[in-house]
Amino acid sequence: MIRIIRGCLVDDAARAEAAAEIVAVGGDERSRIGIAALCALLARTGIEVRRPGSAWLSIDELRLLAWLAYAPRETAMDDYLTFGLTIDANAAAELRIELATCGRELARIGCRLPALAWTNDFACPLYARGRR
């Protein structure tokens, strides 16, 4: 999933590869549009998404994966960690909506990310910290 998001944020060739990967995992035009909308918002908000081929995830990418894993399982994500102080409240609310929509779309096409994605201390829901 991160490879697709990274590709959507680079150039036309990388975006075409990302679109092909979306189709390869069972996605359709609706999936492609949803992921493209999420990527556009990520670019506008300045969330750190590394270049394709980067070996390591940024903390923002780790949080992004956690949100995408969390979204199909929960309807309200208000208590979820945000991407820090780097974005304003309106952008954070818009991002929360896009992530929830994209997470549900991934689940619809059968790409359900594991719950383990949100157990990392950088990415876990706030209420989960007290239960460990």
Tokens 């549900």 found at: 104
Q: How many domains does the chain have?
A: 1
Give the residue carrying structure tokens 């590709």: 7
- Of 37 and 81, which is predicted with more confidence? 37
Amino acid (1-letter code) at residue 72: P
Half-sphere exposure of 56 (CA within 13 A, CB side): 2
* Count of C-beta atoms within a 10 Å radius of residue 33: 13
Choose the weakest-confidence range: 45-59, 60-74, 97-111, 118-132.
118-132
Average pLDDT of the residues in 45-62? 88
**According to the model, what pLDDT value does residue 132 have?**
37
The model's pTM = 0.77
Comparison of pLDDT for 63 and 119, the residue scoring more: 63
Count of C-beta atoms within a 10 Å radius of residue 57: 17
What stretches of the chain adopt beta strand conformation (E)?
none
CA distance linking residue 25 with residue 71, whole number of Å: 19
Percentage of the chain lying above the pLDDT 90 cut: 11
Residue given tokens 């680079």 in the structure block: 10
Could you list the residue range(s) of the whole structural domain that residue 115 is in? 2-131
Distance CA 48, CA 59 (A): 8
Average pLDDT over residues 83-107: 78
User: Using an 8 Å Cβ cutoff, are 87 and 41 in contact?
Assistant: no
